[in-house]
Amino acid sequence: MTRPDADGRDAGVPAGRRPGAPEGEAGRPVRVRPPRPERRIAAAFGLTAAAAIGFAAVYWQGGQTQLEGVLLAVAFAGLAYGLGAWSARLMPQGPFVEEHEPFGSSRRQRAAFAAEFEEDVQAISRRRFLGRALVLAVGALGAALLFPLRSLGPRPGRALYQTPWRAGAQAVTADGRPVRAADLAVGSVLTVFPAGHVEAGDSAALLIRVDADVLRPAPERAGWSPQGLVAHSKLCTHAGCPVGLYEQGSNLLFCPCHQSVFDLLDRARPISGPAARPLPQLPIEITADGYVRARGDFEGPVGPGFWSRPP
Amino acid sequence: MWLVLAVVAGGGLLQLGMAGRTATASQPAQAGGRGQLLYQQSCASCHGQRGEGTERGPSLIGVGAASADFYLSTGRMPLTKEESNPDRAKPAFGRSDIDALVAYVASLDGGPAIPAVDPAAGRLAEGEQLYQENCAACHSATGTGGALTSGQAAPSLARSTPVQVAEAVRVGPGAMPKFPPQALNDPQLDSVAAYVGHLQDGGDRGGYGLGRIGPVTEGLVAWVVGLGLLILIARRLGQDAP
Amino acid sequence: MILRRSARWLDDRLGAASVARTSLSKVFPDHWSFMLGEIALYCFVTLVLTGVFLTFFFEPGTNDVVYHGAYAPLDGARVSAAYASSVRLSFDVRTGLLMRQVHHWAALVFLAAIVVHLCRIFFTGAFRRPRELNWLIGVSMLALSLFNGFSGYSLPDDLLSGVGLRIAYSITLSIPVVGSWLAFLVFGGEFPADQIIHRLFVVHILLVPGLLVGLLAAHIGILVRQKHSQFPGPGRTEHNVVGSKLWPTYATRSTALFCAILAVLLALGGFAQINPIWLYGPFEPSQVSSPAQPDWYIGWVEGALRMYPPWEFRVFGRLVPNPFVPAVLVPGVTFLALYLWPFLEQWLTRDRDAHQLLDRPRDHPVRCAAGAGTLAFYGLLLATASNDVVARLTRVPVASLTWAGRVILLVGPPVAAAATYVVVRALRDSGAEGVLQVSFGQLVAAVRATGRRRPGRGARGQGRRRRPATIAGGSEDR
């Protein structure tokens, strides 16, 4: 890797004083340093040892995170100081010079390599037909070996288009308790799921009671929100985060991930932030004995967009 | 002469004592009394002479003791400047005055009473679960509060007493939604209050909490303290001039 | 005595004496900025050491278990095995919390060190020939480290990182044509797919570290082969290296740096709480906490997602969802540009010579300007990722901060680039010692000089003309 340079010296030999260099190492500012660094270095190592013993004692006594951290930190700091001072004060400083040859090989070497290689590769390069057959074989095999990747997961199918909500599904809370309309006062919010599907990732819906007078549903959604109770998908249509912040009074839904804001009184349409589509609404009804039930699935696929999502 | 003074002084002291007892007894006050006086002085200009509301402040009829106690004990009312969602501040009134005002507001056609909450009876594990389901989205899982739209914020819970937590849950002050007993019953409320108490004094096990804001402050510390220190150390170990 | 006998024992079998001699006397230059890569390297070592400890206790399962342990609010809670084992690591394993916190702090500092190291390489032109290969390897390591950081903090399956996984799923979904298939295959189904924690675990502890170790070996091997570059100075030429010998001085100094890094990380890990997963709670797909940010090194993607306007469009009737541009295109173009930069600069400056001597940043105002503009762009993206935190602290509406962020993102980087160009050019032309010594008059002169018509292409290479090349790097025969 290193060769003797023109003077026959090996690499890594002290260069000696550079002409015109200031006192001290070549080109470096002279630092004022304390004499007798050995005592400080020894003290630093002593500190390391003491801190290490301290750490062991703390651990043996049951451990405590802050003490463990500070003792180990002190131990390593002592080592760092000691080794740093040792290398800076008590080891050969140089500057040392190492020459190196140009990065590319010499022309002669390249020519020799090319000649030998080409001679040996004739056995392969002249056989064009066999070469192509080999490429075909390896190509087919490589493509075939990609197939097991399919085992990693199920096909998307209809999964992104539907949720477990169905007509007649009873709305329940996260612990499975059926929800009654009377559970919510004006300005209350609950996260509800279809009974039996509390674990499903796309089934969460926000059930909110607003003042029935301010709710003006579109004609095709009349009957979707009885007694001022509205239900929308909780999954943000931007990147799928649960839209967990409901602002009573202004009736806004605020997603904490990227700050999309949805207007609950206007089909949960996005009015700010990067979301581009409203939160799909869940049509609900109130049964005779006051329980909240869905009338069908959400009005469209919930959550973030995807390539084949219908408009 | 001295006798007259003594009688007057004694009568005055008696008055004060009686007033204090009436306030702390938290019985519905009569239409007269200290509560009404304080109301006329501090609240009527925005909330109307008899709590009916004006264009500057909503009606207080039917809001109940819970709402009044919440706003007064957290110092949000009386307002120091006009805003719709005031922050917690130092309460303007002492406890006895607050009780008097609360009693007066409660006398304006009832409303929810101050909930009885007992954190000791709550279960921490249940509280953690309920808090995460219902509260973490706005108030942050760590209890530091979070931003809402239009410059509002869900406040930090660092100084909320159990009673204030319970009042807020039932009343739904400001932008906060309301959780009636059917949604969150009283034992569950005990658990939530207990968990909020735990967040206040038991949460930071890993050292200094850095404001419990999360990766934003952690990243700042990693750059400024972590890498900053290491670059200083590298400069010490290495050379300076190129 | 023992050392000598062992050395002789080894040499009898390996014949290593001459190799050892040349290796140990290798010269490394002493400038402190050359230690930035070492900071990254030693952070990686720390990550591996603490990571092994964590691996002994962590269980990468999404099956429900009941946590029983020292942390009361979660005692008896049904959570995933991954979350329960992480909480147990924090409270029921001695030094567990220290190891977890050191590991996470080390990850944050690791990526910061990589970025600063990349900046040093960039601004001093160390990526120029013959070191393009090392640049490509380095950028690959940056990408891998980013991914390992993300996968690492997603492993405990807590509420904050789980929401991040949800966003990652949505970003994958947003890829045109193949997005839904890719998401279902990578994650193992519809969100929350049960497989993802386990898969991230395998990637995080085996695949990516293995790749990183291999690339690191190549990175360092190439560095040793080509010798370290150096700043111009007395006695330094394009054909030598001036500095300290590897043994004993440089090795000891480097070990001291390693110990210092451990000290800083251990102090942070002991005193500064990081990622308190017991406060965030276990992940539930219907729950979220606010504020919600990823670790800082993913923050630029998060900022892009927040700042990008609500634009979605349809191609042939199919939807290209909103997250695609900020979270797939922007990072893709970023890394493409990073990979291509050495070749782009070569093409722009017509400089195909090999370089052992580094540029002082001031010698290259255009490169400095490009770098400053780029840093400004990504720095601003990172800053805007915290808009909700700023909103809460200042009570400025979030929407206003978002709008301000959008404007600043468009205006800031060009302004930063232009300002940097003027200042660096003034620095170079005036010969001043440092930025603070540049006078206003010199700045004005630099602006005027920029406006003047440049005398042909040569000026772009800062006056460097094509040297009558020795044939593409080949030297004369020896």
Nearest C-alpha neighbor of A269 from the set A285, A258, A280, A259: A280
Query: Does the beta carbon of B141 lie under 8 angstroms from any beta carbon of chain A?
Result: no
Burial group, residue C35, by CB count within 10 angstroms (0-12, 13-18, 19+): buried
Cβ of residue B149 closer than 8 Å to a chain C Cβ:
yes
Percent of chain A with pLDDT over 90: 68
pLDDT of A64 reads: 93
Residue C233 has pLDDT above 70, yes or no: yes
Q: What is the pLDDT of residue C405?
A: 96
Chain-centre distance of CA B112, in angstroms? 17
Q: How many CB atoms lie within 10 A of CB A299?
A: 18
CB C429 within 8 A of CB C449: yes
The whole-angstrom distance between B233's CA and the closest CA on chain C is: 8
Question: Is-contact B64 B153, C-beta < 8 A?
Answer: no
Of A203-212, A268-277, C83-92, C429-438, the one with minimum mean pLDDT is: C429-438
- Find where tokens 């014949």 sit: C15
- Label residue B176 by pLDDT band (50, 70, 90): very high
From residue B24, give the alpha-carbon distance in Å to each of B94, B98, B102, B103, C449.
12, 10, 11, 10, 81
User: C315 CB contacts (<8 Å, ≥6 apart)?
Assistant: C176
pLDDT in tens, B196-222: 999 998 778 889 999 899 999 999 999
Interatomic CA distance for residues C103 and B230, integer angstroms = 17
Which residue has better confidence, C373 or B110? C373
Name the pLDDT band for A113 (thresholds 50, 70, 90). confident
Q: How far lies A209's CA from each of A182, A196, A254, B73, B111, in Å?
A: 10, 24, 17, 28, 20
CA-to-CA dists, residue B194 to A271, B118, B166, B181, C260, angstroms: 37, 8, 11, 17, 43
In this predicted model, what pLDDT tens digit does every residue of C273-316 receive, in sequence order?
A: 999 999 999 999 999 998 999 999 999 999 999 999 999 999 99
Q: Across all residues in chain C, what is the average pLDDT?
A: 91
CA distance, residue B230 to nearest chain C CA (Å): 7
Query: Residue B183 is nearest to which of A29, A80, A183, comparing CB atoms?
Result: A183
Q: Please provide the distance, in angstroms rounded to a whole number, between the alpha carbons at the two ends of chain A.
A: 66
| Residue among B147, B229, B233 whose CB faces C392 most closely | B147
C-alpha distance from C275 to closest chain B C-alpha (Å): 7
* pLDDT at residue C238, as a whole number: 83
Query: Tens of pLDDT along C125-153?
Result: 999 989 999 999 999 999 999 999 999 99
Q: Does B121 touch chain C (CB under 8 A)?
A: no
Burial class (CB within 10 angstroms; exposed 0-12, middle 13-18, buried 19+) of B23: buried
Q: Bridge-partner residues for A242, per DSSP?
A: A235
What is the β-pairing status of strands C313-315 and C318-320? antiparallel
CA–CA separation, C190 vs C183, rounded Å? 8
Give the C-alpha separation, A38 to A34, whole Å.
10
Q: Tell me if C233 sits within 8 A of C15, measured CB to CB.
A: no
pTM: 0.89
Taking the C-alpha atoms of residue C252 and residue C249, their distance in angstroms, rounded to an integer, is 5
A222: three-class secondary structure by DSSP? coil
Q: Which residue of C has its CA nearest to B156?
A: C392
The H-assigned helical ranges of chain A are 37-60, 65-89, 107-125, 128-145
Q: Is the pLDDT of residue A29 over 60?
A: no
Secondary structure (DSSP) of A237-257: TTT--B--EEETTTTEEE-TT
Q: Which residues of C touch B242 (CB under 8 A)?
A: 31, 231-233, 358, 360
What's the pLDDT score for residue C469?
41
* Mean residue pLDDT across chain A: 87
Candidates A203, A242, A223; CA nearest to A283 is A223
B115 Cβ neighbours under 8 A, 6+ residues apart:
B66, B163, B166, B167, B170, B186, B189
Is residue B88 within 8 A of residue B75, CB to CB? The reply is yes
Please provide the average confidence, as pLDDT, over all residues in chain B: 85
Q: State how far the Cα of A260 lies from the Cα of C81, in Å rounded to an integer.
A: 33
Query: What's residue B32's pLDDT?
Result: 56
Output the pLDDT for position A103: 76
Q: Find the residue in A nearest to B235 (Cα).
A: A84
- Chain B nearest CA to C181, separation (Å): 31
In sequence order, the 6+-apart residues with CB closer than 8 A to the CB of C3 are none
**What is residue B167's predicted lDDT score, i.e. its pLDDT?**
95
Residues B79-99 have pLDDT tens digits of 877 777 788 888 888 999 999
Question: Could you tell me the CA-to-CA distances from C376 to C104, C295, C380, C401 in Å, in that order?
Answer: 26, 19, 6, 18
Of the candidates B172, B183, B239, the beta carbon closest to that of A28 is on B239
Q: In the structure encoding, which two tokens stand for residue C379, read together?
A: 């720095």
Distance CA C355, CA C365 (A): 18
Q: State the DSSP H helix or E strand holding residue A229, giving kind and residue range, or none if neither.
A: strand A229-233
In the block, residue with structure tokens 């150390």: B233
Asked whether the beta carbons of C313 and A277 are under 8 A apart, the reply is no
Whole-angstrom Cα distance, residue C90 to residue C84?
10
Residues of B in contact with C31 (CB under 8 A): 238-239, 242
Report for A119-123, B170-174, C82-86: range of highest mean pLDDT: C82-86
B152 contact A CB<8A: yes
Flag the least confident range among A18-27, A162-171, B182-191: A18-27
The shortest C-alpha distance from C28 to chain B (Å) reads 11
Those residues whose C-beta lies under 8 Å from the C-beta of residue A185, and which sit 6 or more positions away, are A209, B178, B180
Q: Is C281 left (phi over 0), alpha (psi -120 to 50) or beta?
A: left
Helix (H) or strand (E) holding C161, with range, is helix C159-173
> In this structure, what token pair is assigned to residue C184?
């279902």
Q: In chain A, whose CA is at the least distance from the CA of C237?
A: A99
Mapping DSSP to helix (H, G, I), strand (E, B) and coil, where does residue A122 land? helix
Q: How far apart are CA B192 and CA B163, in angstroms?
A: 11
* Global ipTM: 0.89
Q: Which residues pair with A206 in a beta bridge?
A: A191, A232
Identify the CA nearest to A195 among candidates A224, A233, A165: A165
Measure the CA–CA gap between C225 and C237, rounded to whole angstroms: 17
pLDDT for the residue B15: 52
Q: Which of A284, A286, A270, A212 is nearest to A236 (CA)?
A: A270
Instruction: Find all residues with CB under 8 Å of A220, minimum gap 6, and list them.
Output: none
Q: How far apart, in Å, are the Cα atoms of C9 and each of C13, C17, C248?
A: 7, 11, 22
Q: Provide the pLDDT for residue B14.
A: 54
Contact B215 C112 (CB under 8 A): no
Task: Summarize the confidence of residues C102-113 as an average pLDDT.
Answer: 98
Q: How many CB atoms lie within 10 A of CB C190?
A: 21
Fold of A171-294: Rieske Iron-sulfur Protein (2.102.10)
pLDDT band at A18 (very low <50, low <70, confident <90, very high): very low
- What is the CA B55 to chain-centroid distance, rounded? 25
Q: Which chains touch B (3 or more CB pairs under 8 A)?
A: A, C
A195 with A169: CB under 8 angstroms?
Answer: yes
CB contact under 8 A, C22 and A20: no
C368 contacts C144 by C-beta, under 8 angstroms: no
Mark A244-271 as b/e (b = at least 16 C-beta within 10 Å). bbbbbebbbbbbbbbbbbbbbbebbebb
Model confidence at A1: pLDDT above 80:
no
pLDDT at B13: 55
Break chain A into its structural domains and give their ranges. Answer: 37-90, 171-294
Query: Is residue C288 within 8 Å of B136, Cβ to Cβ?
Result: yes
Helix then strand count (H, E) for chain C reads 19, 6
- All partners of chain A with 3 or more CB pairs under 8 angstroms: B, C
Provide mean pLDDT across the span C385-413: 95
| Residue A183 confidence (pLDDT) | 93
A-chain CB neighbours of B133 within 8 Å are 174, 191
Q: Please say if the pLDDT value at position B170 is more than 90.
A: yes
Mean pLDDT (whole number) for C65-71: 94
Tell me which residue of C169, C459, C336 sits closest to A159, measured CA to CA.
Answer: C169
Chain A contact present for B242, CB below 8 A: no
Closest residue in chain A to residue B184, using alpha carbons only: A183
pLDDT (mean) for C58-63: 95
Give mean pLDDT, residues A154-171.
Answer: 94
Distance CA A147, CA C35 (A): 45
| Residue B72, strand partner residues | none
CA dihedral (B98, B103, B108, B111) in degrees, to 10, reads: 90
List the single residue in B with minimal CA-CA distance to C294: B215
Q: Which residues contact C329 (CB under 8 A, 6 or more apart)?
A: none
Contact indicator for C275, B124 with CB cutoff of 8 Å: no
pLDDT at A281 over 80: yes
| More confident of the two residues A100 and C280 | C280
pLDDT tens-digit map of C7-36: 888 888 888 888 888 888 888 888 899 999
Least confident of A19-33, A133-147, A250-264: A19-33
Residue C287 with chain A: CB contacts under 8 Å: 191, 242, 244
Q: Do B146 and A250 touch (CB under 8 A)?
A: no
Contact predicate B149/A261, CB 8 Å:
yes
- Say how far apart CA B175 and CA A249 lie, in whole Å: 6
Instruction: With CB atoms and an 8 Å threshold, state whether A150 touches C321.
Output: no
**pLDDT digit string (tens) for B19-75?**
443 344 444 444 458 888 989 988 888 888 888 888 888 889 888 999 999 999 999
Residue B192: its pLDDT value, please?
97
- The Cα C293–Cα C385 span in angstroms is 7
